[in-house]
């Protein structure tokens, strides 16, 4: 059952006494005093000085030094050889024995032959030989020059058998011997190429450099540009050329002034210090060289023009004009006395594609690729161990138009 409640409280009854009667209260009231006069409002404004800016808080963060980087660990392991498969066996039966016809005996008797002798006289290219070895080998049969010519005449040889000047100089560096040896050693030019440079004594050499804006293009992803590489090429060309011509080399550009009679490769540094800029007016520049050479032509020397460019020729409006250059080369150039080498300063084949066939279809013209491409082509023919330095490249380019054997170094194997 539920909890039982407490007992109720007691009942209290009280009596209330009657209220007492009282008198009404006496109220005394005072008259209010006279109010004071009312003063007008007055505003006083005082300008306080500005509160100064509190000093800037400084927070200094210090980091502990980074932990030492652990050393890289490179482990090289050899993969074991897999199981060799069994060699395939091919059994090829021999063909059945061949039946031969029975032998017969036939006698053929011919009449007297009416012979006609055709004599061909050919002067071969000079070759190098050691005089001491030559004497030791042919000692008993050697003749002095007068006796040799006399015996040749007695045998019916009527042609001129005087050795050419170039053959007499093949092994002795007649012009500036020490200079040419020094240059060959400095630029690692192999002996065969160095000796064949003697042919340059027969030529006036002129260099035409492309200084258009595209020559600022870097080479092989480096900071070195086509313009920088061209400077190296021109300096080597000038050093070689001045060995054979003390008057120096005429150096022309497409968009800046020419430098005539350069005898020191250091003279070109100032012109090359100005970065290339402009179009490629190759045709008018080359025409001026041809015309100038025709005016001051020397009867004893031919002209060799060394042209270095990285793009297609343009007209004064900047439009490509290959036809104008081809017309100049085919119709205006004196091809028998004017030799031209075009050196490509780019590995972009499309930029110089117009030159690709000219060395095959034009007389006394050679086209040389950039160093990397030319070296690959030469080694593809001569073998990948064939030495071909940058100096070899410049030397080959310089004489390629006048020495067909060197021009064909990237076409036929040298024996």
Residues 144-179 pLDDT 10s: 877 887 888 788 777 767 765 443 334 434 444 558
Is residue 31 scored above 90 in pLDDT? no
Q: What is the mean pLDDT of the chain?
A: 83
pLDDT value for 173: 45
For the CA atoms of 303, 236, 252, 296, what is the dihedral angle to 10 degrees?
-30
State mean pLDDT over 2-22.
Answer: 72
pLDDT value for 29: 63
Is residue 230 scored above 80 in pLDDT? yes
* Distant-in-sequence, close-in-space partners of 395: CB < 8 Å, separation ≥ 6: 189, 193, 194, 197, 240
Copy the structure tokens of residue 293.
Answer: 């050479």
Higher local confidence (pLDDT), 198 or 133: 198
For the CA atoms of 232, 234, 236, 238, what is the dihedral angle to 10 degrees?
-150
Q: Which of 237, 226, 231 is nearest to 187 (CA)?
A: 237
**339 within 8 A of 302, measured Cβ to Cβ:** yes
The C-alpha atoms of residue 181 and residue 194 are separated, in whole angstroms, by 8
State mean pLDDT over 127-131.
Answer: 72
Query: pTM of the prediction?
Result: 0.58
State mean pLDDT over 205-209.
Answer: 95
Q: In the chain, what percentage of residues exceed pLDDT 90? A: 32
pLDDT value for 171: 41
Higher local confidence (pLDDT), 200 or 136: 200
pLDDT-derived band at 376 (thresholds 50, 70, 90) equals very high
The DSSP secondary structure of 294-337, one letter per residue, reads: HHT--TT-EEEEEEEESS--B-TTS-B-HHHHHHIIIIIS-TTT
pLDDT value for 285: 95
Is residue 260 scored above 50 in pLDDT? yes
Residue environment code for 38-72, b if the CB has 16+ CB neighbours within 10 A, otherwise e: eeeeeeeeeeeeeeeeeeeeeeeeeeeeeeeeeee
pLDDT-derived band at 68 (thresholds 50, 70, 90) equals confident
pLDDT value for 1: 61
Among the ranges 60-64, 134-138, 401-405, 407-411, which has the highest mean pLDDT value? 401-405
State mean pLDDT over 105-130.
Answer: 74
pLDDT-derived band at 309 (thresholds 50, 70, 90) equals very high
Q: In the chain, what percentage of residues exceed pLDDT 70? A: 87
Residue ranges, comma separated, of all CATH 3.40.50.410 domains in the chain are 167-410
Is residue 378 scored above 50 in pLDDT? yes
pLDDT value for 143: 83
Residue with tokens 């290959």: 322
pLDDT value for 2: 66
pLDDT-derived band at 391 (thresholds 50, 70, 90) equals very high
Q: Of 67-71, 342-346, 392-396, where does mean pLDDT reach its minimum?
A: 67-71
The C-alpha atoms of residue 185 and residue 413 are separated, in whole angstroms, by 25
Is residue 108 scored above 70 in pLDDT? yes
* Distant-in-sequence, close-in-space partners of 121: CB < 8 Å, separation ≥ 6: 157, 159
CATH class of the domain whose range is 167-410: alpha beta
The C-alpha atoms of residue 214 and residue 2 are separated, in whole angstroms, by 113
112, with CB counted inside 10 A (0-12, 13-18, 19+), is exposed
């Amino acid at each position: 059952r539920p909890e039982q409640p407490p007992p109720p409280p007691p009942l209290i009854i009280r009596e209330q006494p009657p209220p007492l009667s009282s008198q009404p209260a006496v109220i005394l009231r005072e008259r209010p005093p006279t109010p004071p006069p009312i003063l007008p409002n007055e505003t006083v404004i005082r300008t306080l000085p500005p509160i100064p800016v509190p000093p800037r808080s400084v927070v200094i963060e210090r980091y502990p030094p980074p932990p030492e980087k652990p050393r890289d660990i490179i482990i090289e392991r050899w993969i074991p050889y897999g199981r060799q498969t069994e060699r395939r066996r091919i059994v090829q039966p021999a063909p059945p024995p061949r039946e031969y016809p029975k032998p017969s005996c036939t006698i053929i008797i011919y009449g007297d032959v009416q012979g006609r002798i055709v004599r061909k006289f050919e002067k071969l290219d000079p070759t190098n030989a050691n005089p001491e070895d030559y004497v030791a080998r042919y000692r008993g049969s050697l003749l002095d020059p007068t006796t040799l010519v006399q015996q040749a005449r007695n045998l019916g040889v009527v042609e001129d058998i005087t050795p050419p000047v170039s053959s007499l100089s093949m092994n002795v560096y007649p012009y500036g011997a020490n200079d040419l040896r020094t240059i060959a050693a400095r630029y690692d030019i192999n002996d065969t190429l160095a000796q064949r440079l003697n042919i340059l004594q027969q030529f006036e050499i002129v260099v035409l450099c492309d200084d258009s804006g595209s020559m600022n293009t870097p080479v092989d992803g480096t900071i070195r540009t086509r313009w920088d590489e061209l400077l190296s090429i021109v300096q080597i060309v000038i050093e070689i050329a001045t060995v054979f011509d003390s008057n120096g080399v005429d150096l022309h550009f497409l968009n800046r002034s020419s430098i005539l009679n350069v005898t020191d490769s250091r003279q070109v540094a100032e012109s090359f210090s100005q970065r290339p800029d402009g179009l490629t007016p190759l045709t008018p520049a080359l025409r001026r060289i041809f015309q100038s050479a025709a005016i001051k032509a020397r009867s004893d020397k031919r002209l060799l023009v060394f042209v270095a460019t990285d793009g297609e020729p343009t007209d004064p409006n900047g439009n490509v004009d290959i036809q104008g250059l081809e017309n100049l080369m085919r119709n205006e150039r004196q091809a028998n006395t004017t030799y031209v080498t075009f050196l490509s300063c780019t590995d972009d084949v499309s930029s110089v594609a117009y030159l690709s066939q000219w060395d095959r279809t034009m007389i006394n013209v050679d086209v040389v690729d950039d160093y990397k491409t030319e070296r690959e082509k030469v080694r593809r023919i001569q073998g990948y161990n064939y030495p071909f330095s940058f100096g070899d490249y410049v030397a080959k380019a310089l004489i390629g138009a006048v020495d067909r054997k060197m021009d064909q170094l990237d076409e036929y194997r040298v024996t």
